[in-house]
Amino acid sequence: MHLSIIAPNRRLFNGEVDSVMLPGALGPFQVLSDHAPTLSSFIAGKITYTVGSTSSSLSVKGGFTSVANNQVRVVCEPSV
């Protein structure tokens, strides 16, 4: 699936991933291939995405995500 992570002033990530974990208000939630369409906000924490056996993470202050047709779009404010 394709993941785009965008901050107000730059693109933080754009590429194919196997999974994405986001810090939901009620707990972390994972997005996998063929996930149901979703629109959600998320809280401060870490976004973790996995490509093969490699995981990367990004600390964020919060944001929004939309999931549809194996496209995950994240708009967030990165933590410094």
- Segment 12-21 mean pLDDT: 98
Residue 65: beta bridge partners? Answer: 40, 74
Q: In the prediction, which pLDDT does 6 show?
A: 97
Where along the chain do its domains lie? 2-78
Cα separation of 38 and 12, whole Å?
21
Residue 23 pLDDT level (bands cut at 50, 70, 90): very high
Cα separation of 12 and 33, whole Å?
21
Q: Which CATH number fits domain 2-78: 2.60.40.770, 3.30.70.1350, 1.10.10.10, 2.60.15.10?
A: 2.60.15.10
Cβ proximity of 20 and 2 under 8 Å: no
| Res 12 pLDDT > 90 | yes
The model's pLDDT over 29-41, given as tens digits with 9 standing for 90+, comes to 999 999 999 999 9
Say if pTM beats, i.e. exceeds, 0.85. yes
Q: Distance between terminal CA atoms of the chain?
A: 28
